[in-house]
Chain A
Amino acid sequence: MTATSTRSARAARPVPSTGRAGRSGHRPRRWRFQPAWLFAAPSLVILLGFIVYPIVQSFRYSLYNWRIGAETQEWVGLANYAELLGDERFWNALYVTVIFSVVSVVAQLILGFAAASALQRDTWLNRIVRSVFFFPTIVALAIIGIVWRFMLDPSIGLIGGVTELVGAEPIPWLQDTSLALPAVIAVSVWKNVGFTMIILLAGLKGVPEHLYEAARLDGARGWQLIRHVTLPSIRPTLLFATMIMTINSLQVFDLVYVMTNGGPLFATDTLVTMMFREGFENFNLGYASTIAWVLFAIIMALSAFQLRIFRYQDVD
C-alpha cells in the first residue's frame, strides 16, 4: 500500500487494460465509446459546475472593481493585484496565516507522533484513550469556537476562574494582541491532534518489526531508532498528514471567525478571514476575489513543492 508496492503492482500488470478493445483497437472509422467517461461523468459534472466554473468566475471578478448589485462593472485589469501587494493588511494576514500554519502543523505532528507512539499497543485502555483524544476532531469548529471562547473569557470562563483560584489575575487571552494568535493556534492543535495521532498510528503499525530488531543489533537506541527506522518508514504517511494539515490550515476560517473574527486589531486576521471581510462585509467582491486567488496560488505552489520534496510517486 505504500508508494513502492503501488509501483510494483503496476509494473506487473498485463499490457492491454480494457478487455474489449485495448489501445491497439484499430477501427478508426467507428467512434469508440469510452466507458471511463461514463464512470467519471457525475463527479466531473459537479466538479466542473460547482468548483471549476465558480473559481474561474471569481478570477473574472478579481479583474474588475466588482460591486455587488451594480448594473455595470468597472474593469480594472490587474489593479486589484497591485493594490494587494501594497496593502499592509494583506501582508499582516499572510504573516498570520503562515505562522498559524507552521506552528499548528509542527505542533500537531510532534504531539500526534508522541501520542501515537505512547498508545501504539492495542490494549483496551489505549483504545479508550485514543478515542478520547480523537473526540474533539468530530466536533464542529463552530461549537468548539463558542465553547473555547467562553472558557477563555476572563470574567466568566473556567480558565479565568481557575487562574483566580490560584491567586493570579485572569489573562485576557483573546483580547490581547500578542496572546490571541497563540490561543487560537492552541485550540486548533487541541482539536486536530487526535486526527494526526490516528493517521500516524496507522503508519507506525505498518513498520515491520524486523527493521527495529536489525537496528537494535547495530546498537541503535531510543531517539536513534525513531530517527533512522520509524521516521523513514512512515514517510508516505507523514507526507499525507503534512499535506492535508497544511492545506487545511492555510484555509483556516471557521475557528478564527467564531473565536475572534480576525481581531483584536487584526492579530488573528488570516487570508480567508480578510477575504471574507472584504467580500462580505465591505462589499469589495473584486478585491476579495483577488485575495482568494493569491491564496489559491500559494496553496498550489506549496503543494507542488511538498509533493516534490517527498518525491511522492503516484501520478503517471
Chain B
Amino acid sequence: MSTDLHVRRRPSPQKALTGTLKWVLLGVGIVVALVPFVWMVTGSFRTEADLFGAPASLLPEQWSLHGYRGIWEELPFMRLVMNSFIFAGVTTALCLVFDSMFAYALARIKFRGSTLCFWLVIATLMVPFQVTLIPVFVELFHLGWLDTYHGLIIPRATSAFGIFMLRQFFISIPRELDEAARIDGAGHLRIYWQIILPLAKPALATLAVLHFMNLWNDLLWPLIVTSSTEMRTLPAALTLFGGQHVNDHAVLLAGATLSLLPLALAFFLAQRYFVAGVATTGLK
C-alpha cells in the first residue's frame, strides 16, 4: 500500500485496483468511526417510543427536545461548564509550567540524584490511578481540600507523562544554543525561559491539548474530590444525572452529546494541534 505513494509512474491496472480497494476500506473505516456519533446525536432527539420502534433507523421520526430540557431544568449548566474550564484549564497551565521545569532540570542540568528522579518519573508513569485512590482521598480529607478547586487541581498539576515527553524533547534541542547563551552570561532561568521554552512550543502545544482533553474527560477524579453540585465538572454531573434516569435514553444521550460538544468544537477549530501534537510525541 505504501509503495505506490512514493513511486509515481504510469498507473497500472493492478495499481488502480489496489487504489480502489484502499478507498473502499477507508470508506468502511470512516463509516465505522462516525456512525456511533451520529447515532448518539440523533438519539438524543428521539422519544423512547421512536427509539424502541425503529432501532435500525439513524434519524428520529420526530425531533424531540425532552432530553435536553430534562438536563437544562435540573442542572446548573453554566456553572458546570465553568467548573470544567477552571479544572481543565488551570490544571493544564500548571502542568505545562511544572512539567517543563522538571524536564529542564532532567535534560539540561547535571545534578546528583537526576537519574533517581528520572526513574521516579518513569515508575509513577506506570502506577494505575485506581491504586492510589483511597490513600489520596484520605490525604485530601486531612488537608481539608475536599470539594475545593485546589483539591481538584493541585494533585493533578503535574504528570509523569508530560515530564517524560518534554525531557525527550528538550534533549533533542541542540546544546550549542544554551552554550552560546551561557557565554553571554545567561543563567538557567533565562535559558529555560528564553531559549528552551520557545523552541519547545510544538511539544508544549501538544501536551496542552492532551492534558486538557484528558482532564476534561476525567470522571473518577472529580467524582471523588467534589461532592456538591456547585463544584462538579460537566461530565461528572452528567454521568450521575444520567444514572438516575436510566429509563430515558434520550436524556443520557443528550448528556453525552453536551459533554462532548466543547471538546468536539475545540477539535475542529484546533485539530492541527491535536493531530500534529500527538505526532510529535511519537517522534521520541
Contacts and interface: CB of A to CB of B under 8 A. Distances in A.
Is there a direct interface between A and B, measured as CB atoms under 8 Å apart in the complex?
yes
Interface of A: 1-2, 5-6, 9-10, 12-14, 17-19, 23, 34-37, 39-40, 42-44, 46-47, 49-55, 57-58, 61, 68, 114-115, 117-121, 129-144, 146-148, 150-151, 155-158, 160-162, 164-165, 190, 194-195, 198-204, 206, 209, 212, 216, 221-222, 225-226, 230, 236-237, 240-241, 247, 250-251, 253-254, 272, 275-276, 279, 285, 289, 292-293, 295-296, 299-300, 303, 314-316
A156 B55 contact: yes
B168 to A, nearest CB: 7
Contact of B130 (A12, A36, A275): A275
Most buried by B among A17, A40, A156, A209: A40
A23 B109 CA distance: 11
A71 B85 CA distance: 40
Given A39-B104, A40-B101, A9 B253 contact: no
A117 B179 CA distance: 40
Nearest to A298: B126
Given A44-B102, A118-B26, A158-B58, A39 B192 contact: yes
Most buried by A among B114, B174, B284: B284
A240 B282 contact: yes
A17 B109 CA distance: 7
B221 to A, nearest CB: 11
20 contacts: A5-B172, A37-B111, A42-B98, A49-B155, A50-B136, A58-B134, A131-B267, A134-B275, A135-B267, A140-B217, A141-B217, A142-B217, A143-B259, A199-B281, A206-B283, A216-B7, A251-B128, A275-B130, A292-B131, A295-B128
A52 B120 contact: yes
B256 interface: yes
B56 A158 contact: yes
B17 interface: no
Contacts of B227: none
A237 B252 CA distance: 39
Interface class of chain B by DSSP: helix
A47 B121 contact: yes
B160 A47 contact: yes
The 9 closest A-B pairs by CB, nearest first: A161-B56, A161-B55, A199-B282, A140-B217, A54-B135, A202-B279, A54-B132, A39-B105, A117-B2
B158 A17 contact: no
A54 B175 CA distance: 38
A18 B120 CA distance: 24
Contact of A198 (B7, B139, B253, B282): B282
Nearest to A60: B135
Contact of A165 (B37, B56, B122, B189): B56
A146 B139 contact: no
B226 to A, nearest CB: 16
A6 to B, nearest CB: 6
Nearest to A247: B126
Given A35-B188, A131-B271, A164 B128 contact: no
Interface residues of B, number: 109
B3 interface: yes
A203 B2 CA distance: 13
A40 B52 contact: no
A236 B132 contact: no
A140 B105 contact: no
B217 A139 contact: yes
Contacts of A221: 3
B187 A118 contact: no
B213 interface: yes
Given A35-B109, A190-B33, A275-B130, A9 B174 contact: yes
B132 A50 contact: yes
Given A23-B110, A37-B111, A157-B55, 17 more contacts: A1-B172, A46-B155, A53-B139, A61-B135, A115-B26, A120-B2, A134-B271, A160-B55, A161-B55, A164-B56, A198-B278, A202-B280, A236-B284, A237-B283, A253-B130, A275-B131, A300-B123
B131 A6 contact: no
Nearest to A120: B5
A168 B219 CA distance: 37
B245 interface: no
B157 interface: yes
Most buried by B among A160, A202, A206, A230: A202
A23 B112 CA distance: 10
B238 to A, nearest CB: 9
A52 B179 CA distance: 35
Nearest to A302: B126
B187 A9 contact: no
Contact of A53 (B5, B135, B274, B280): B135
Contacts of B39: 147, 151, 158
A13 to B, nearest CB: 4
Contacts of B16: none
Nearest to B34: A132
A36 B154 contact: no
B203 to A, nearest CB: 11
Most buried by A among B2, B7, B58: B2
B258 to A, nearest CB: 10
Interface string B21-38: 010011001101111110
